[in-house]
């Protein structure tokens, strides 16, 4: 895992001291709220519906057990005993007191963590595939590149006041697990026959009120020239991006208004006149960063206990749904679902976080990942340890075998917490999860994604859920629009609306009707998205119409 160098440590310490002073000046009235707001946001402190919220960066979703212990402690000491993992691989605490923030930041700094650039119109936390360095379909580990970008973008003086926030994601595998095409810049590691390993660059993706799928702007960039090229993209955006209307200020709007070809020309022209020598990366630097992400030494192990445990159906389900094969034989990456039936998607209590830290030390070389699905991954688990790990997780309420299934719902905090939300998300997720509680039913339905956002800002990526649910306010009531056909992979697609919005109490019935329709229509081996693509939305509209009635053809 990466460790902060001297520059990082000194920078974070200096920034924390600066912010502690700014908090003190806010509290004594030397700074007004108008003056203080942009400062606190740049340090991850929001004022939400009920209290201050602190967003802590988890670079490319990678955490050590030691860092998780500190997060557990912050939840216990300064919050209400729980934290919320987000779709950008960060963690948020919802009940933080402003007076406590300087001390919290000091405790985070002790384990090389901070909240800088988790808000504001700057380059945000870089995200990556949560199976980085593990997955068998990987071309190259995306974490060293994500780390390179983290170092480059942290306090980059030119890009601290962009027209709007800017999000970058990196994937290194043939399957995109980092939703790169929904980012301002998406980076895909590719292996070109002639040129070797390099990067394909997507730009102009983003969800929110104007969902746009990112498009390729550069087929191939080398390691050496990657940062120089990213600077050219950012400079073009910084120079040409709109600042007159915050809703039209993201790079996706610039790309659309300029036209893809013209935008690419502008970037290339910028790149041609740029002196990239200060950001070109040589092989030694790449090797230095790569070394931080070397696999831990994983010893060969028997699989006797694992094989025997498969006779237990609960364990077999856990092994089937919550693990993927590791590059090293005899090992698996294990996903810990933060989606217990009827639970709050992405939430973990401090006691659970502490247990996760201890179990990561015991079973995963001290490494933990956070997924954009709001789950947790132990990257390096020996298969023979899996029965023991599963039992220990079960004792903590963390062994739900539902990864990728219908109850593995992505949901934003919604109107229960968020000042921007227009409807609640979490209770809708809880009700749907309870509706499909049966593990047999979930297995029958198979892989499917449900994403629920509580406003058009789309923090839960509802546009690209196989089933997307968007909560809005209509005439003083919560109202939910349902889309189907969204896809978060490299074949990214935006869902289509089934019809007018419906009341909260009708959502679980409607989802059940859509699922029944799918089960009725699907052919052998099809997942929900396949059936939708084969037949189109019209075949599902019947499940949406006539609310409250069960039609015979749905069954």
Partner 1 sequence: MKNKIPAPAILSAHDLREGYVAYWTGELWSRDINQAKIAHADDEIIEMETVAASFIAQNIIVDFAIIPIAHIAYKITSKTLRESFLISGPTIDYGEPSIEGALNVSI
Residues in contact with partner 1 by the rule CB under 8 A: 26-29, 33, 47, 49-52, 66, 69-70, 72-73, 75-77, 80-82, 96-99, 110-111, 344, 349-354, 415-417, 421-424, 426-427, 430, 473, 476-478
Q: Which is nearer to partner 1, 426 or 464 (CB)?
A: 426
Crossing angle for the helix pair 226-240 and 143-153, nearest 10 degrees?
50
Q: Provide the β-strand partners of residue 173.
A: 138
Q: Which is nearer to partner 1, 162 or 354 (CB)?
A: 354
Which is it for strands 45-47 and 52-56: parallel, antiparallel or unpaired?
antiparallel
Q: Rounded to the nearest whole angstrom, what is the least distance from the CB of residue 423 to partner 1 in the complex?
A: 8
CA angle 253, 254, 259 (to 5 degrees): 105
Q: Rounded to the nearest whole angstrom, what is the least distance from the CB of residue 523 to partner 1 in the complex?
A: 39
Q: Rounded to the nearest whole angstrom, what is the least distance from the CB of residue 243 to partner 1 in the complex?
A: 25
Q: Which is nearer to partner 1, 210 or 351 (CB)?
A: 351
Q: Rounded to the nearest whole angstrom, what is the least distance from the CB of residue 79 to partner 1 in the complex?
A: 8
User: In angstroms, rounded to a whole number, what is the distance separating the alpha carbons of residues 363 and 553?
Assistant: 49
User: In angstroms, rounded to a whole number, what is the distance separating the alpha carbons of residues 457 and 163?
Assistant: 17
Q: Rounded to the nearest whole angstrom, what is the least distance from the CB of residue 69 to partner 1 in the complex?
A: 5
Backbone φ, ψ for residue 531 (5° rounding): -65, -45
Q: Rounded to the nearest whole angstrom, what is the least distance from the CB of residue 76 to partner 1 in the complex?
A: 4
Q: Rounded to the nearest whole angstrom, what is the least distance from the CB of residue 411 to partner 1 in the complex?
A: 11
CA angle 391, 396, 401 (to 5 degrees): 60
DSSP for residue 523: P
Residues 6+ apart with CB under 8 A from 310: 316, 319
Tokens of 196: 């070797």
Burial of 287 from C-beta contacts in 10 A (0-12 / 13-18 / 19+): exposed
Q: Which is nearer to partner 1, 230 or 336 (CB)?
A: 336
Q: How many Cβ atoms are within 10 Å of 290's Cβ, its own excluded?
A: 15
Q: Rounded to the nearest whole angstrom, what is the least distance from the CB of residue 54 to partner 1 in the complex?
A: 10
Residue by residue, DSSP assigns 119-152 as SSSSB---EE-TTTTT-TTBSS-SHHHHHHHHHH
Q: Which is nearer to partner 1, 45 or 279 (CB)?
A: 45
Q: Which is nearer to partner 1, 50 or 265 (CB)?
A: 50
Asked if 367 and 60 count as a contact pair (C-beta separation under 8 A), the reply is no
Q: Rounded to the nearest whole angstrom, what is the least distance from the CB of residue 31 to partner 1 in the complex?
A: 9
Tokens of 326: 């590791």
Q: Which is nearer to partner 1, 162 or 410 (CB)?
A: 410
Classify the C-alpha dihedral 322-403-178-180 as positive or negative.
positive
Which among 60, 44, 59 has a CA at the least distance from the CA of 94?
44
Residues 6+ apart with CB under 8 A from 173: 129, 131, 135, 137, 138, 139
Q: Rounded to the nearest whole angstrom, what is the least distance from the CB of residue 48 to partner 1 in the complex?
A: 8
Q: Provide the β-strand partners of residue 169.
A: 127, 186
Q: How far is CA 489 from the centre of its chain?
A: 13
Q: Rounded to the nearest whole angstrom, what is the least distance from the CB of residue 498 to partner 1 in the complex?
A: 23
User: In angstroms, rounded to a whole number, what is the distance separating the alpha carbons of residues 102 and 215?
Assistant: 41
Q: Which is nearer to partner 1, 394 or 404 (CB)?
A: 394
Q: Which is nearer to partner 1, 39 or 47 (CB)?
A: 47
Q: How many residues does the chain have?
A: 555
Tokens of 149: 């970008």
Q: How many Cβ atoms are within 10 Å of 324's Cβ, its own excluded?
A: 15
Q: Which is nearer to partner 1, 249 or 428 (CB)?
A: 428
Q: Rounded to the nearest whole angstrom, what is the least distance from the CB of residue 53 to partner 1 in the complex?
A: 9
Q: Which is nearer to partner 1, 76 or 286 (CB)?
A: 76
Q: Which is nearer to partner 1, 132 or 411 (CB)?
A: 411
Q: Which is nearer to partner 1, 72 or 267 (CB)?
A: 72
Q: Which is nearer to partner 1, 118 or 323 (CB)?
A: 118
Asked if 49 and 419 count as a contact pair (C-beta separation under 8 A), the reply is yes
Burial of 8 from C-beta contacts in 10 A (0-12 / 13-18 / 19+): middle
Q: Rounded to the nearest whole angstrom, what is the least distance from the CB of residue 475 to partner 1 in the complex?
A: 9
Backbone φ, ψ for residue 20 (5° rounding): -60, -40
Q: Rounded to the nearest whole angstrom, what is the least distance from the CB of residue 50 to partner 1 in the complex?
A: 6
Which among 77, 148, 56 has a CA at the least distance from the CA of 370?
56
């Amino acid at each position: 895992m990466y460790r902060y160098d001297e520059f990082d440590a000194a920078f974070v310490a200096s920034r924390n001291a600066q912010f502690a002073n700014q908090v003190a000046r806010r509290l004594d009235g030397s700074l007004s709220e108008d003056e203080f707001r942009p400062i606190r946001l740049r340090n991850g402190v929001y004022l939400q519906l009920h209290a201050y919220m602190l967003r802590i960066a988890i670079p490319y979703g990678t955490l050590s057990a030691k860092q998780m212990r500190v997060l557990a402690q912050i939840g216990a000491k300064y919050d209400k005993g729980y934290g919320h993992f987000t779709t950008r691989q960060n963690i948020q605490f919802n009940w933080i007191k402003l007076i406590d923030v300087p001390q919290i930041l000091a405790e985070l700094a002790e384990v090389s963590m901070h909240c800088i650039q988790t808000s504001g119109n700057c380059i945000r936390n870089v995200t990556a595939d949560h199976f980085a360095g593990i997955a068998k379909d990987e071309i190259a580990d995306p974490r060293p590149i994500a780390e390179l970008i983290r170092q480059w973008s942290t306090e980059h003086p030119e890009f601290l006041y962009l027209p709007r926030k800017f999000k970058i994601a990196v994937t290194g595998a043939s399957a995109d697990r980092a939703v790169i095409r929904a980012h301002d810049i998406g980076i895909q590691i590719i292996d070109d026959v002639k040129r070797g390993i390099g990067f394909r660059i997507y730009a102009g993706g983003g969800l929110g009120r104007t969902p746009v799928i990112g498009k390729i702007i550069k087929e191939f960039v080398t390691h050496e020239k990657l940062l120089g090229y990213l600077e050219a993209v950012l400079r073009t955006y910084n120079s040409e991006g709109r600042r007159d209307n915050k809703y039209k200020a993201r790079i996706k709007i610039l790309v659309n208004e300029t036209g893809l070809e013209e935008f690419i020309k502008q970037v290339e022209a910028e790149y041609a006149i740029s002196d990239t020598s200060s950001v070109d990366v040589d092989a030694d630097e790449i090797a230095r960063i790569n070394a931080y992400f070397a696999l831990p030494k994983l010893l060969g192990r028997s699989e006797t206990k694992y094989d025997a445990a498969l006779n237990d159906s609960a364990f077999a389900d856990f092994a089937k749904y919550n693990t993927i094969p590791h590059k090293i034989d005899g090992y698996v990456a294990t996903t810990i679902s933060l989606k217990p039936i009827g639970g709050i998607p992405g939430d973990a209590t401090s006691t659970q976080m502490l247990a996760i830290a201890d179990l990561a030390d015991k079973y995963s070389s001290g490494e933990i990942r956070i997924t954009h699905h709001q789950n947790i991954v132990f990257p390096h688990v020996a298969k023979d340890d899996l029965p023991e790990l599963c039992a220990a997780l079960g004792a903590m309420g963390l062994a739900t075998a539902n990864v990728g299934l219908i109850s593995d719902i992505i949901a934003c905090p919604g109107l229960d917490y968020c000042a921007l939300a227009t409807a609640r998300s979490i209770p809708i997720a809880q009700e749907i999860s309870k509706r499909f509680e049966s593990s047999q039913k979930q297995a029958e339905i198979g892989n499917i994604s449900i994403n629920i956002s509580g406003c058009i800002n789309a923090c839960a990526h509802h546009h690209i859920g196989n089933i997307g649910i968007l909560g809005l306010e209509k005439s003083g009531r919560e109202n939910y629009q349902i889309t189907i056909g969204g896809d978060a992979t490299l074949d990214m697609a935006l869902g289509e609306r089934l019809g007018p919005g419906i009341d909260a109490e009708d959502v679980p019935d409607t989802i059940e009707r859509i699922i029944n329709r799918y089960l009725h229509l699907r052919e052998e081996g099809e997942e929900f998205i396949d059936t939708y693509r084969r037949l189109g939305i019209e075949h599902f509209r019947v499940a949406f119409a006539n609310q409250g009635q069960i039609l015979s053809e749905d069954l």
